[in-house]
A = this chain, B = another copy of it.
């Protein structure tokens, strides 16, 4: 089943201890789409400025991403992020953020997009996420991501969103902040009481936790030796997860767990090169091979 993702499309400048890359393709919706595309058709909803190269749109299109929902605003600039990774590659600092066109991003979905069955609200303001959710008619599964910035600045809206989505995906420090809990397990349980049917807490190099009313589990990250650039790992995780769910047109507990595993596998590829370079080079077969290795690793 087709999957809609609403989120950022960006230029990223990334500094790692080994190298620097300027203004490469990035953004939550981009990473998400390029990870989900192995499983299903992805419809991307986002906004860019007139500095956006048409080749990037073409690149997305040739990789099974429908860009009809990508709005180009003339006289404006694309969202820009600059970050630096520390030696351990699991900590980063944001050096610069220029919201540009993202500052007023409030998409109006086409009739076709409104009828989508699987919806992912990637990083963006909670108000925007709520607005998109209101436009959708009878989605089967809606999942949202959020960030510390929105947790601090739009707490009311976030509570409303949590009452309306099926799932929430966020990273460990954000989960603790939102739940006001010190332990991750405690945070997961508290967030579950705020409304969503399931909570996924991403732990970066340590994997991800899943919480629902009936189960809780943790899956480790797939250990890859070449961590080149962790940018987009979390969004690719969500893309792999939602892509698989949309393909299966199902979100039963066992499907959700396999979806988590596919998300982890997708993220493990993303970090192996800068930007979306690695995701562009691999095929569904590569994903399945690594999934088999991952499954074998956890069998004893």
Contact = CB atoms under 8 A, between A and B. Distances in A.
A209 interface: yes
B254 A223 contact: no
A185 interface: yes
Interface in A247-289: 254, 257-258, 260-261
B218 A223 contact: yes
Nearest to A205: B184
Nearest to A86: B182
Interface stretch (A4-12, A44-52, A93-101, A292-300): A292-300
Contacts of A206: 203, 206-207, 220
A250 to B, nearest CB: 14
A39 to B, nearest CB: 16
A88 to B, nearest CB: 5
Interface in A213-270: 216-221, 223-225, 227, 254, 257-258, 260-261
Contacts of A258: 300
A218 B297 contact: yes
A213 to B, nearest CB: 14
Contacts of A225: 185
Contacts of A257: 300
Contacts of A261: 300
A131 interface: no
Interface residues of A, number: 33
Interface of A: 17, 87-89, 182-185, 203, 205-207, 209, 216-221, 223-225, 227, 254, 257-258, 260-261, 295, 297-300
Nearest to A293: B217
B218 A218 contact: no
Contact of A220 (B17, B216, B220): B220
Contact of A217 (B17, B205, B223): B223
B218 A183 contact: no
Given A220-B220, A223-B216, A183 B88 contact: yes
A258 B221 CA distance: 19
Contacts of A295: 300
Nearest to A218: B220
Nearest to A296: B217
A244 to B, nearest CB: 11
A257 B205 CA distance: 21
